[in-house]
Amino acid sequence: MDVCMQRQDELDPSARGFYRRTLALLSESGVQFLVGGAYALARYTGIERHTKDFDIFIRSGDYDTVMKVLERAGCRTELTFPHWLGKAHCGDSFIDVIFSSGNGIARVDEEWFEHSVDGEVLGLPVRLCPAEEMIWSKAFIMERERYDGADIMHLLRACGDRLDWPRLLRRFGPHWRVLLKHLVMFGFVYPCERNRIPRAVMRELLDRLEAELDSPPPSERVCYGTIVSRAQYLIDVECWGMQDARLVHGGPMSDADVAHWTAAIHDDK
């Protein structure tokens, strides 16, 4: 597919130097990490945009090692949210050190590394997050102030005909309706490109939907809206007596995680 590079802003020279230094130090340390965010998106879609943050993805067990490397680089570090995210600050720029997702579902595991791809970022060789895991983690971001649906549309348009669809379906697991939502939207956004989504995938998900229509709804009053937005469904669990899907049946978060994640809403974190 021909790609026309879309450039949004230019990277500040000081930020570029900071990112290059930290990438080099991390590579020299031997710890495994993946570059994600805008830089990985550019590799897959050709959409290039520069922001003040830089996303790296690591296993949770490597967090302390990574932060020590960044501290030696002169960064001020913090474990912003213990269930998924730390930050390393240098002036106005910072690195997000990610080992899960805000909803606790998309934990960085071995498969992220097994299926990562070679790339080059700021002139340095790196490994990039797989497109499948990017779609998986971005699919649940549906906040009022941030919605990653367009990124998913562009990833599907660029990679849909060569994605590992069995793995992607497995990643979504019981949350397959979220994937179906994005695939239906893809056909709306790009009707002339809808064949990039394999027919067998759409049929599988639609068959699941049909099976649900033929069965009674569950009696348990659980709100899954908190999986896609930490703010917009609080009324359901705080005022309307519904259970928070992040906490029921061994959910992906603890009470403390949810409280910390919720408290930061008004801090714009």
The reported pTM is 0.94
Average pLDDT over residues 95-103: 98
Give 49's pLDDT tier (boundaries 50, 70, 90). confident
42 lies in a domain? Answer: yes
- Cα–Cα distance measured from residue 232 to residue 142, given in angstroms and rounded to the nearest whole number: 9
Nearest to 106 by CA among 171, 34, 167, 153: 171
Give 267's pLDDT tier (boundaries 50, 70, 90).
confident
Tell me: the pLDDT tens digits for 132-172? 999 999 999 999 999 999 999 999 999 999 999 999 999 99
Query: pLDDT tens digits for 18-28?
Result: 999 999 999 99
**18 and 49 inside one domain:** yes
Encode pLDDT of 120-134 as tens digits.
Answer: 999 999 999 999 999
Q: What is the pLDDT of residue 11?
A: 79
User: Per the structure block, which two tokens stand in for 37?
Assistant: 């965010």
Q: Convert the chain into a string of H (helix), E (strand) and C (coil).
A: CCCCCEEECCCCHHHHHHHHHHHHHHHHHCCCCEECHHHHHHHHHCEEECCCEEEEECCHHHHHHHHHHHHHCCCEEEEEECCCEEEEEECCEEEEEECCCCCCCCCCCHHHHHCCEEEEECCEEEEECCHHHHHHHHCCCECCCCECHHHHHHHHHHHHHHCCHHHHHHHHHHHHHHHHHHHHHHHHHCHHHHHHCCHHHHHHHHHHHHHHHCCCCCCCCEECHHHHCCCCCHHHHHCCCCEECCCCCCCCCCHHHHHHHHHCHHHCC
Are 94 and 88 in contact by the 8 Å Cβ rule? The answer is yes
Instruction: Say what percent of the chain tops pLDDT 70.
Output: 95
**Co-location of 19 and 61 in the same domain:** yes
116, 93, 100: which is closest to 35 by C-alpha?
Answer: 116
- pLDDT for 6 equals 44
Is residue 177 one of the residues assigned to a domain?
Answer: yes
Q: Which residues contact 74 (CB under 8 A, 6 or more apart)?
A: 90
Would 141 be classed as within a structural domain?
Answer: no
Q: Look over the chain and give the mean of its residue pLDDT values, rounded to a whole number.
A: 94
Q: What is the pLDDT of residue 268?
A: 65
Same domain, 193 and 106: no
Radius of gyration, alpha carbons of the chain? 19
Q: How confident is the model at residue 73 (pLDDT cuts 50, 70, 90)?
A: confident
Model confidence pLDDT, tens digit, residues 201-231: 999 999 999 999 999 999 999 999 999 999 9
Q: For residue 29, is pLDDT > 90?
A: yes
Give tens-digit pLDDT for 226-238. 999 999 999 999 9
Task: Look at residue 117 and tell me if it is in a domain.
Answer: yes
The β-bridge partners of 85 are 81, 98
Same domain, yes or no, for 156 and 251?
no
Clarify whether residues 178 and 97 are in a common domain. Answer: no
What range does the domain containing 208 cover? 149-213
